[in-house]
Every structure is written in C-alpha cells, then in structure tokens.
Structure 1
C-alpha cells in the first residue's frame, strides 16, 4: 500500500524540519545519530482518510500513554542521522498513526530505509505531545539536540542552582531574557528512552522553555520546529557568552537585576 498523500500544510512543516536539521548539523549539535525531532500532525489530516488507509495495514505493538489514541506523529528514526533529513527525509523519518486504543502504530509515510524503526525516544516524544495537547496545545513540535555550551553548563556546579544559572545566562544580553522568558530547567539525569526521562522532561515544561538534560543535551517544544529551535539557539547563545567571559578570565558585568526586570515588559 502506498504512502498517504501529505496535505500541503504538513509538507510545509516537513520542509521546516529539513531546514532546521541542516542548522543542527552545521552547529555540531547533531553528531552521528544524536538528537531527534517529532511533530504532532494530527490536526493536518482527516481522520476518516487515515482510518480508510490503515484498515488493512499491519501494526507494531507499542505501549503508548493513554490519551494519544488516533495521534498522527512525524518522528525521526532510530539510528538515523539528523543530517539525512536535509536530503533524504523519507528514509530518516516517518509519519506514524497510533491506533484507537494506543497499543500500536503503523507507518503511513516515510520510513523507506531498510530496517527502519522510529526513534527509541518514542515514549518520551508521545508523552510530551500528550502533555502539550493538555497544557500547551499550540506547541506541536519537539526538538532534542546536543547544544555544546548548554551541555557544558550541565556539568558546572551552577546546574545545581537553577535560579542562579538562569540569572547568569539571562544577564548576558537582552535577547536571552526576552526570547527565553521562562528560562532553562536543570533536568536531572535519566536514562535515554525511558519513561523516567519523559516524566522529568514534562515536569520541566511546566515552568520553563528549555529542558537541559544533565550531561546529555537539551529539549524544547514550539508551535513548529523553527520555534523550538529558537528557544535552544537563544538559550545556548547566553551560555556561550557566559563561558567565553569565564574563558577570557573575567566575570561578566551582565545586565543588572533592574535591567532584567525592565525587560519583562517584552516577554
């Protein structure tokens, strides 16, 4: 059975994903098969068409969180390189449909590589998409990657003082305070591809824009993948400027508390 035809709106989102994947590779944030991207595309598809197209397809068992029944998710593949999304997105990712009792999925587009399977972080992504459906419904995209300077900060003692870490990163330039207004969550270490990692990440998004996974990487959500990228890009810029000052041997003056407070009118 052939892939389902992509709605124009969904294709536009895939084009953005390809573009952002290129950014990640150029920035050295996506070494080898590091990182993953997903997007909740349910609203872009007609449910009746999905049910008709999948009624004779085989499904792969998977224990999704209850509440994700009928979701249509774009997601990258396990072992796939994000740089492959630039030119070979149909081989490095797929769009899958979760069945009506959230116990299995079938691929309705992409996954053309031999032996393809969705990322091992599927439980984390589906759980966060469900969380956003309930708590932040405009956020359809999830981006996990390895921003160099943010990872360095997760090894620093400041990681144990979230408020102070955010203050020092915010004070590096006004844009960081304005465009990452809720700041960075210092998310404690949890093993990849586990429910524990999903839980600590969802806890992070209750209060912050970015979840900084201890000694691992960072994750953000957004209305689309470009918006999620912006959170990570700007947050990492603050961390990079801070590290540059330290490496140059001085403590940055930074924006004052009064100046940071003044910027809240733009957040």
Structure 2
C-alpha cells in the first residue's frame, strides 16, 4: 500500500480543508502534526530509505525515532486535499534530534511548518501525561482571537466564561484553557511557553493570534477547538445583543454537569463546594 492512500493522509486532507472552510487558517496560517507508530509506518511499501535530511532548530532527541506527518511551511490549507504529497510530509526524528529524515512528501523541496519545534515541544509534554495523545493542531479561530483583545487574559476568568456559554464546554475541556502572553510566533520561546502550559491543559490560547490544541485523534482535537470557538461565538453574539445577561449557567449547574458526565473541573477555576451562584 502506498502512503498517499493511507487513512492518515486522507484524514489530514479532510481536517485541513475543514479548518480552512471555517476561516481559521487563512492563506498559509495554521499547522497540524500527527505522530505515527512504527507498526503503522511498517504497513506501507513505499517508505524505505530517507529522501533527504532536513535540519530543525530544536533538540528533539527526546523524540528520536518517532514519526510525524506534518503540514509544510508556507502551505495553504485550501490546497492540501488536492496536493497532499506536496504540502505535507512524513518525517522521522533523527537520533541526534537536530534534524529529521523525510520519508514521504514535500515533493517540491518543502519542509515542515516553521512551528514544528513548538509542535515537538508539545508532543514531548503531552506524551509524558498521556502516551495516546498524538495530534497537535494550531489555527486562528476568529472569535477566540477577538476575545483575547476584549477580555482579561486570566485563565480562570476565561475558562469559567467559556464553560458558562454552553453546557458542552465543561464536558469537553474540564481542565479549562491555558493562556500565554503575546509572543512572537515561529520561535522556540513561544513553543516552550506553550509546552509548559500543555503540562496542565490540552488547549492554549496565543493572544491576538490563535490557539494550540492536542488530542488522541484528528477528530477529537478538531472538536476541542470547535467547542472552544463555539463558546466564543456565543459570547460574541451576547455582546452584539447588548451584553445584558438575564440568566446563565450557574456554578452549581456546572458542578451538576461535571458529576453527571464524570469529569473533574479544574479546582483552581471551580471549587467543589456547592453554593448558590
């Protein structure tokens, strides 16, 4: 079987197209990486010797030997489903960790996204917490970015706001949302700050820019971002209607919701004490 026909490439094409259609990955914005196991890679008969070696500006030796299907730098998500072998690539982290071997893709001489070091840092953090987590996704959800301009950038405040915008929010991301200060994208500094937050959260806001998220599958990670953005959309709609909230989901409602769905809200953002609120 050829790798281009794999479920991994097909899912990458589907998700990048959905991200583009939502307006979350304009032009060449956004990037996705998917970790594959050795057993999964062994299924394909066109993955043998490396095509070429690509240096990376990060010591990824902690991930030596691991495989990642990743979107390319400067690539438009609207094109990935038509040109997956050009706009994505399957790479293996070398033993030294300062480069990757290209096994498939980037057929026009391309290379992984400029945010690849940030992805790898997050993969390192999340694998220590849950070895099943294999997706890192970055995009620019419109209403979330807008919220970062108008709301206090406090994790507890933002998380509680999003939890109270819809019942699904607490169930989908009970740990809440991490937030880093505004930082220059494409740097190891923003990657490390994000990875540090990923020790506690699966989703991190990059103020005035976008979001970083991780999960077990493409669908789960996409759904996590989708749920956060829907909550932000509801808040935007409330503000456009005058912002006068007459009734809302209370803290006690959130506790009942958590109990019903068997999730544990972040204790720093929602106490376990039942009160009228």
Match of 1:88 among 83, 100, 113: 83
User: Matched residues in 2 for 1:166 and 1:61: separation?
Assistant: 38
Unaligned segments of structure 1, at least 5 residues: none
Write the mapping of 1:245-256 to structure 2, written as runs, cut at 5 A.
245-252=238-245, 253-256=247-250
Q: How many residues align?
A: 257
The 4+ residue runs of structure 1 with deviation greater than 4 A are 49-52
Is residue 98 of structure 1 aligned with residue 93 of structure 2?
yes
- Specify the SS of the correspondent of 1:90: helix
Contact 1:78 / 1:120 at 8 angstroms: preserved in 2? Answer: yes
- Counterpart residue number, 2:146: 152
TM-score, normalization by structure 1: 0.89
User: Matched residues in 1 for 2:182 and 2:83: separation?
Assistant: 32
Displacement of 1:228? 0.7
- Specify the SS of the correspondent of 2:92: strand
Contact 2:122 / 2:191 at 8 angstroms: preserved in 1? Answer: yes
Contact 2:70 / 2:89 at 8 angstroms: preserved in 1? Answer: yes
Contact 1:141 / 1:222 at 8 angstroms: preserved in 2? Answer: yes
- Counterpart residue number, 1:167: 160
Displacement of 1:66? 2.5
- Cα deviations across residues 152-202 of structure 1 (Å, max 9, x unaligned)? 11112322x221111111111111111122121122122112111111111
- Specify the SS of the correspondent of 1:96: strand
Contact 1:90 / 1:109 at 8 angstroms: preserved in 2? Answer: yes
Unaligned segments of structure 2, at least 5 residues: 264-277
User: Matched residues in 2 for 1:21 and 1:104: separation?
Assistant: 25
TM-score, normalization by structure 2: 0.86
Write the mapping of 1:112-151 to structure 2, written as runs, cut at 5 A.
112=107, 114-151=108-145
Write the mapping of 1:159-238 to structure 2, written as runs, cut at 5 A.
159=153, 161-238=154-231
Displacement of 1:46? 4.0
Contact 2:61 / 2:93 at 8 angstroms: preserved in 1? Answer: no
- Specify the SS of the correspondent of 2:144: helix
Question: Do the aligned partners of residues 32 and 199 (structure 1) sit closer, same or farther apart at CA in structure 2, a change above 3 Å counting?
Answer: same
Displacement of 1:7? 9.6
Q: CA RMSD in A?
A: 2.2
* Higher mean C-alpha displacement, 238-247 vs 250-259: 250-259
User: Matched residues in 2 for 1:50 and 1:264: separation?
Assistant: 47
Displacement of 1:208? 2.1
Displacement of 1:50? 10
